[in-house]
Amino acid sequence: MIVEYNIYSINVNFDIVEESKHDILRELYISMFKIFEELEYIISPQRTLLLSIDLENIEYKMQDIFGFPHNRNYHRYWLKIPTCNCPKLDNSEYYGTQFRLTTNDCPIHGDRIKNLINRKEKIKRII
């Protein structure tokens, strides 16, 4: 079945998911597409970080629905954000491992966001 939202669409095999979870899964994909849509525009690093965290949480919820254990190594949509310029082919080869290749100038995963994450972690440790 195809899930669509504006310019985004994906073909999802709903046959492997309990029928009672179809609507939830469809809504998760639409939420993911809305994140993609918002990340197409220049937004603050703080908002970018929050949306990236939201996307990761959506992927964990999808793993629940499909009956898979939570494992960040099997997330794939972090790399499909339209403005992400991290190496797609290299990262597809690392799928299922702990490794992720990012570029310093990526507006989603680059240094600006990494520095924000580091500051956030430092504040947590201080408090």
Q: Is the pTM of this model over 0.85?
A: no
The pLDDT assigned to 45 comes to: 81
pLDDT per residue as tens digits for the range 101-115: 999 988 888 887 777
| Contact yes or no for 53/120 (Cβ under 8 A) | no
Average pLDDT over every residue of 1-13: 92
Average pLDDT over every residue of 58-86: 93
The pLDDT assigned to 61 comes to: 97
The pLDDT assigned to 120 comes to: 67
Backbone φ and ψ for 69, nearest 5 degrees, come out as -70, 155
Cα 92 to Cα 22: distance, rounded to the nearest angstrom: 27
| Contact yes or no for 52/79 (Cβ under 8 A) | no
